[in-house]
Every structure is written in C-alpha cells, then in structure tokens.
C-alpha cells in the first residue's frame, strides 16, 4: 500500500499533543509541500512514529522542542528525523536500544514509565519495511532518530 507520510505525521503529532503539553515541550513539524509516499503498512508506520515521537517528548525537557523533519530530495531516500533537546543517550547504550526491555538508567529516566519495548517494535517494523533506524545522540544536547526508507 502507498502511504503519504505528510498527513500521517500530522495525525501522529496531533495524538501526542496531550503528552507534549504535560511535559512542556512543543512538537514542530517540518513537512514539504505535496505528497511523500512510501510503500508500507499504515498502522505499522503510525506505530513507528508514535513510539519515536512519544520517546522524544517523554525524555524531553520542559521548555524544549521536538522537531520532526520529513525529507524527500530528488534521487535521495525518504527520511523522517525526530530530533529532541533532551538528555541524550550515552554512546555505549546506543547499539542496545532496540533490544527488548532495554532501558537506559540515566538520572530521572527511571522515573519515566516504560517497558523498554518501544524501540524493539520500531526496529522490527522497519526491518519488514526495508527501512533503517539511524541514531545520533549527544549527552546534554539531545537525540536524533532518523528513519531512512
Ligand atoms: P516503552 O516505549 O515500551 O513504553 P521505553 O520508552 O523505556 O518503554 P524504548 O522506547 O524502547 O522503551 O526506549 C528504550 C530506552 O531508550 C528508554 O528507556 C530510554 O532510556 C532510551 N531512550 C529512547 N528514546 C530516547 C530519547 N529520545 N532520549 C533519551 N533517551 C531515550
Ligand atoms: Mg518508548
């Protein structure tokens, strides 16, 4: 099925507004004009972007922003980046983030509820879509989760 990511990302963002306002972060969408279509399963892709935006908000910090970029350059792969200004993830944890039940115990991350399954599900779904998850993170600055189709 062909899925247009432009409205899909808008819907996911709308669904996360209550969580974002609880935490005190703003989610800014940066979408191109027109359609950006990928082949895939709509419900599964919603789950991917819900998990990533939920993490970006949950581990975000009051007064900071979450930026969501959808890129579709000519001849370039479609990419969605979810960029937060949260605590960041120490490099030694990054390779293990998509393991089931893996959680990073940085200060106050244990106080955030979660099972550690979100990113395992994301990884599983993206593999089925032949898409990659690229993680760039800097402690004290924030994290960029990019999905490349
Ligand atoms: P669940 O998603 O199942 O509710 P969770 O959020 O703890 O629980 P994952 O989404 O798999 O689990 O994330 C794994 C761990 O990676 C988190 O517990 C957190 O420590 C870390 N993490 C994920 N996203 C971020 C982020 N944007 N900033 C900082 N740490 C993050
Ligand atoms: Mg999560």
| CA dist list (Å): 100 to 71, 88, 127, 130 | 29, 20, 15, 20
Nearest CA to ligand 1 atom 15: 103
Record the pTM. 0.96
What confidence tens digit (pLDDT) does each residue in 112-139 have? 888 999 999 999 999 999 999 999 999 9
Which among 19, 22, 87 has a CA at the least distance from the CA of 53?
Answer: 19
Q: Which residues lie at CB < 5 A from ion ligand 2?
A: 55, 118
List, in sequence order, the alpha helices (H) in 59-142.
Answer: 118-128
What confidence tens digit (pLDDT) does each residue in 80-120 have? 999 999 999 999 999 999 999 999 975 555 568 889 999 99
Query: CA-CA distance, 68 to 73, in Å (whole number)?
Result: 16
Question: Cβ(119) to ligand 1 under 6 A?
Answer: yes
In ligand 1, the atom with minimum distance to the C-alpha of 98 is 11
ipTM for the assembly: 0.98
């Amino acid at each position: 099925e062909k899925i247009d990511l432009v409205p899909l990302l808008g819907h996911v963002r709308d669904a996360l507004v209550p969580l974002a306002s609880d935490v005190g972060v703003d989610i800014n969408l940066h979408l191109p004009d027109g359609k950006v279509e990928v082949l895939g399963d709509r419900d599964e892709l919603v789950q991917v972007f819900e998990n990533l935006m939920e993490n970006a908000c949950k581990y975000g910090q009051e007064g900071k922003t979450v930026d969501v970029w959808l890129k579709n350059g000519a001849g370039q792969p479609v990419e969605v980046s979810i960029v937060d200004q949260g605590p960041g993830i120490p490099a030694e944890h990054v390779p293990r983030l998509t393991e089931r039940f893996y959680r990073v115990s940085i200060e106050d991350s244990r106080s955030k509820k979660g099972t550690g399954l979100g990113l395992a599900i994301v990884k599983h779904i993206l593999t089925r879509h032949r898409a990659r998850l690229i993680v760039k993170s800097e402690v004290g600055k924030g994290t960029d989760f990019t999905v490349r189709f």
